[in-house]
Amino acid sequence: MAVLAIHDLSCYSKSSLTVVLPVLEALGVETAVLPTAILSTQTDGFDGIFIEDQHEAMKEVLRRFSDLGLRFDGVYSGFLGSLDEIDTVIEAMSDPASISFVDPVMGDNGALYQTFDSTLCSAMLRLVRKADIITPNFTEAMLLTGLDDGLRPQGMRTIRDQVSVLRSLGPSKGVITGIPLEAGGLGNAAWDGDEVRIFQYEDAGISYPGSGDLFASLLFGLSIKGGSFFGSAKHATDIATYAVSSSRKSGRERKLGIMLQPVMDEIRRRML
């Protein structure tokens, strides 16, 4: 079992590839990486960040992979910073035998990230249409569907409406993460075909950079190893929630990103 993880690389602080790679390997999934950008740190909480786009390097690495005859059972894409990178990822996902997993990183808390605009959002929609599985957060789901209900707590009817539109784009499976629920707390809404399930969890009152990458990596790794999709979504929700809670209780500085040691302990305890 081998996969390709396409994401940015923060040289300090835990997010993106510094979360994705160790989690997938801990799950027993052989992982190759393709950095979309190199950053001195993740962008939430640090000033004077160095960032260098890696699109030209991405193309060369993929050419070398092709020369080696490398094939991947799955391709997971996260942060992409340009139209060219999105087109390159679409090409990398062209193998019909490979599972295409897209975390459509565009925004959070009701707003686009600074590096995104409407043109990139439209291009991300093209990538989503190629995906087998997607994991938009609540804000990204609204951007993809056009069903903007603000950040108000959601009931099952409105959640099903969003899932229906996302399914119509192409992905047969997916999870909308971080939904504020009318029933209280937050929830991850997973769908597999026509069936939708909500996995509710307590709002910890703080979010750590990398927690979304953690959830997506767990879901991708567990799914590609043959776990049931809803079972994988439940495990991913529980472990990611535990990691956020443990990071908060330890007093970890938020800008350092999610703490990985509790994640590894939980993976060993639950699944290995």
Residue 124 is part of a domain; what is its CATH number? 3.40.1190.20
- Residues in a beta bridge with 57: none
Out of 108-112, 138-142, 191-195, pick the least confident: 108-112
Crossing angle of helices 83-92/118-129, nearest 10°?
Answer: 0
Calculate mean pLDDT across residues 1-22: 97
Query: Look-up: residue for tokens 């070398």?
Result: 64
196: part of which helix (H) or strand (E)? strand 195-201
User: What local confidence, expressed as pLDDT, does residue 115 receive?
Assistant: 77
Q: Is 116's pLDDT higher than 90?
A: no
Closest alpha carbon to 99 in 233, 221, 254: 221
Q: Is 272's pLDDT higher than 60?
A: no
Q: In which band, very low, low, confident or very high, does the pLDDT at 271 lie, cut at 50, 70 and 90?
A: low
- Full domain range(s) for residue 257: 2-271
Q: Give the Å distances, CA to CA, from 62 to 20, 91, 167, 171, 176.
A: 19, 10, 30, 25, 30
How many structural domains does the chain have? 1
Calculate mean pLDDT across residues 228-240: 97
Distance from C-alpha of 259 to C-alpha of 239, rounded to nearest angstrom: 12
Query: Look-up: residue for tokens 């894409």?
Result: 77
Return mean pLDDT, the chain.
Answer: 94
